[in-house]
Structure 1
Amino acid sequence: MMAALFALAALSGCSSLLWGTQQAPIVEATVMPVEPASAPVAASAPQPVETEANEGPEEPKKPKKPVVKPHKVEPPPPVAVPAPPPPPPPPLIVLRTIERSDARALLDSPVQKPDGKVVGRAVDMTADAAGKPREMIVNLQGFLGVGDRKVNFPWGAFRFTPTAKGAPITLNPTAVPSTANKSNPLELPLLDATVERANGAKVGRVIDVLIDGNAQPQAIVLDVGDLVSTDRRTIAANWSALRFVTRDKELHPQIDLSDAQINATPLYASDKPIRAVSPAPPAAPAASAAPAASAPSAASTAVAVSNARAVR
């Protein structure tokens, strides 16, 4: 029995080897019907945007700027405008510098002949009503002071050399003394003459005259010190600032220098440059309003005249 079973098993194993692996039996399955899927819905095409025929493509919109509300600014407080400074006061005087090499003092200057021999010293000069030099008074030397005499010579008989180391005045050898040494009321001796203002007030006393190389007076030296005071103050005044007026049949020198102008004038010193003073010209009147195209005003003419006087 057992042997039969082993034999059967052996046979089944051999059949599997011969016929291969047996497939599982097919079992009929129940087929369930499947509902067909619905058709996909087609996507609708975008609708075109209706635009007017004359309009182009729509431009991209610019971003809007943020609206900034202006802040209320308070106006600054009014600034007080300072008044313009007042014009400077007009000058009191006009000064002219005269170099020492251009003019020489007349008083006590040696007078020589052309050969260099000193014959005397100048002690004075005279001028006429126009301010023109007329004569020079020379103190001719005698022997040991004996026989000295004052002689008037015509002004044209002399030659002036301010830069000369010796005698600055040379007398023409053909010069002839004046025919008469009498005082001429129409000629004024300058040395020790009193210079006054137009109102008769005293300005000072002439103590010297400065002469240039052309024999022309350039300035006078005035002693303006107070007669009561011991201080001696001297100034130089321009010859052109002098005028000679006739009063009581005599010539009188005048110059318009006030006390303030005299005090503003530098003192005269023989070792310093000469600063000759003249009164400042009167200030020009204020120009009134006038059309721009009008002729030159009288004020501008006065300024031009004042400038010309200052240069002179």
Structure 2
Amino acid sequence: MRGMTRLMLVAVIVGSIAPAVPYAAEDPPAAQAEPNAPPPPAVPVVPKDAAPPPSVTIIGASDAHGVLGRDVRSAADEDMGRIVDVIVDRTGQVRAAVIDFGGFLGVGSRKIVVDWNALHFGKIANKKDSISLELTKAQVAAAPEYKEDTPIVVLGASGTLQPLQFIP
């Protein structure tokens, strides 16, 4: 009886070890999986020199707006045009805004450049999220027209304009 118990014990031990033995090449694990079983989860492959994940900032819809295409008003609530471009220096610092000024429905208008610091963002004349310009309509009308690939003449509010410094 003792021999029989040892034989059963050996059979139980071998039976419990057998599933841990790797499958033979002709008998892959996928072939033995249940037919309706979900596939095993994918393991993400991350290269050794992968960049760290980017930082994320959430800005509320009422806290920030794009400026391109937005109307600009004077302090006296006159229509000063619409922002059509933003000019940055070589460091990426915003320096000025290009405003499509004058004309009617784009006819007879011209582009002028105003110093970014002459623009004010906020509420004026009971209008929500407006952009106001610290210059008069007469001052803007007298400004030279902006043309690409030519020196930029930036119209600034009194005493706020600094020359653009480009390092070649």
- What is the TM-score of this pair, normalised by structure 2? 0.49
Give the structure with the higher percent helix: 2
- What is the TM-score of this pair, normalised by structure 1? 0.29
